[in-house]
Protein backbone atom coordinates (compact mmCIF):
# COMPACT_ATOMS: atom_id res chain seq x y z
CA UNK A 1 0.00 0.00 0.00
CA UNK A 2 1.11 3.51 -0.57
CA UNK A 3 0.86 5.59 2.57
CA UNK A 4 1.99 8.90 1.14
CA UNK A 5 -0.49 11.50 -0.02
CA UNK A 6 -2.56 11.05 3.14
CA UNK A 7 -3.37 7.35 2.75
CA UNK A 8 -3.86 5.27 5.91
CA UNK A 9 -5.16 1.90 7.00
CA UNK A 10 -8.79 1.41 7.86
CA UNK A 11 -9.50 0.29 11.44
CA UNK A 12 -10.55 -3.21 10.33
CA UNK A 13 -7.30 -3.74 8.45
CA UNK A 14 -5.33 -3.06 11.62
CA UNK A 15 -7.64 -5.40 13.55
CA UNK A 16 -7.10 -8.19 11.02
CA UNK A 17 -3.36 -7.69 11.28
CA UNK A 18 -3.47 -8.04 15.10
CA UNK A 19 -5.76 -11.06 14.91
CA UNK A 20 -3.47 -12.75 12.40
CA UNK A 21 -0.43 -12.07 14.57
CA UNK A 22 -2.11 -13.47 17.69
CA UNK A 23 -3.24 -16.58 15.80
CA UNK A 24 0.24 -17.10 14.35
CA UNK A 25 1.97 -16.93 17.75
CA UNK A 26 -0.71 -19.08 19.37
CA UNK A 27 -0.30 -21.83 16.78
CA UNK A 28 3.49 -21.60 17.00
CA UNK A 29 3.47 -21.90 20.81
CA UNK A 30 0.98 -24.80 20.65
CA UNK A 31 3.16 -26.62 18.08
CA UNK A 32 6.28 -26.29 20.24
CA UNK A 33 4.33 -27.50 23.30
CA UNK A 34 2.92 -30.49 21.39
CA UNK A 35 6.35 -31.40 20.04
CA UNK A 36 7.99 -31.27 23.47
CA UNK A 37 5.26 -33.30 25.18
CA UNK A 38 5.33 -35.87 22.39
CA UNK A 39 9.10 -36.27 22.58
CA UNK A 40 9.13 -36.59 26.38
CA UNK A 41 6.19 -39.02 26.56
CA UNK A 42 7.02 -42.03 28.71
CA UNK A 43 5.06 -45.14 27.77
CA UNK A 44 2.79 -46.45 30.49
CA UNK A 45 1.64 -49.96 31.26
CA UNK A 46 -1.09 -49.81 28.62
CA UNK A 47 1.34 -48.82 25.84
CA UNK A 48 2.93 -52.25 25.47
CA UNK A 49 2.63 -55.88 26.42
CA UNK A 50 5.82 -55.72 28.50
CA UNK A 51 3.83 -55.09 31.67
CA UNK A 52 1.78 -58.26 31.18
CA UNK A 53 4.92 -60.33 30.68
CA UNK A 54 6.44 -58.80 33.81
CA UNK A 55 3.40 -59.77 35.88
CA UNK A 56 3.50 -63.25 34.40
CA UNK A 57 7.20 -63.58 35.31
CA UNK A 58 6.45 -62.51 38.88
CA UNK A 59 3.63 -65.02 39.21
CA UNK A 60 5.95 -67.82 38.06
CA UNK A 61 8.68 -66.68 40.46
CA UNK A 62 6.22 -66.65 43.39
CA UNK A 63 5.03 -70.14 42.50
CA UNK A 64 1.46 -69.06 41.78
CA UNK A 65 1.47 -70.79 38.38
CA UNK A 66 3.20 -73.85 36.98
CA UNK A 67 5.82 -73.64 34.21
CA UNK A 68 3.33 -75.22 31.78
CA UNK A 69 0.69 -72.59 32.62
CA UNK A 70 3.37 -69.91 32.33
CA UNK A 71 4.33 -71.05 28.84
CA UNK A 72 0.69 -71.28 27.73
CA UNK A 73 -0.08 -67.76 28.97
CA UNK A 74 3.13 -66.38 27.48
CA UNK A 75 2.18 -67.85 24.11
CA UNK A 76 -1.27 -66.25 24.38
CA UNK A 77 0.22 -62.85 25.19
CA UNK A 78 2.78 -63.14 22.41
CA UNK A 79 0.18 -64.12 19.84
CA UNK A 80 -2.00 -61.17 20.83
CA UNK A 81 -5.10 -63.34 21.09
CA UNK A 82 -7.68 -62.64 23.73
CA UNK A 83 -9.39 -66.03 23.90
CA UNK A 84 -10.81 -67.45 27.09
CA UNK A 85 -8.56 -69.68 29.18
CA UNK A 86 -8.84 -73.40 28.57
CA UNK A 87 -11.71 -74.92 30.50
CA UNK A 88 -13.57 -71.62 30.69
CA UNK A 89 -15.55 -72.14 27.50
CA UNK A 90 -19.27 -72.15 26.88
CA UNK A 91 -19.80 -75.42 28.77
CA UNK A 92 -20.56 -77.69 25.78
Q: Cα(46)–Cα(86) distance, rounded to whole angstroms? A: 25
Q: Cα(62)–Cα(73) distance, rounded to whole angstroms? A: 16
Do residues 49 and 71 share a domain? yes
At 3, the pLDDT band (50, 70, 90 cuts) reads low
In a domain, 85, yes or no: no
Give the global pTM.
0.42
If one compares 87 and 12, the residue with the highest pLDDT of the two is 12
Do residues 37 and 51 share a domain? no
- Pair 60, 68: CB distance under 8 Å: no
Q: What is the DSSP letter of 70?
A: H
In a domain, 66, yes or no: yes
pLDDT in tens, 49-79: 568 888 899 999 999 999 999 999 999 888 7
In a domain, 69, yes or no: yes
- Pair 42, 50: CB distance under 8 Å: no
Domain of residue 22, residue span: 9-41
Q: Look at the chain and report how many structural domains it folds into.
A: 2
Do residues 52 and 65 share a domain? yes
Amino acid sequence: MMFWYGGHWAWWQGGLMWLGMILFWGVLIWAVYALITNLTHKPGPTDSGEDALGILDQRLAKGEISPEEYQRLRDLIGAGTHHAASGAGSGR
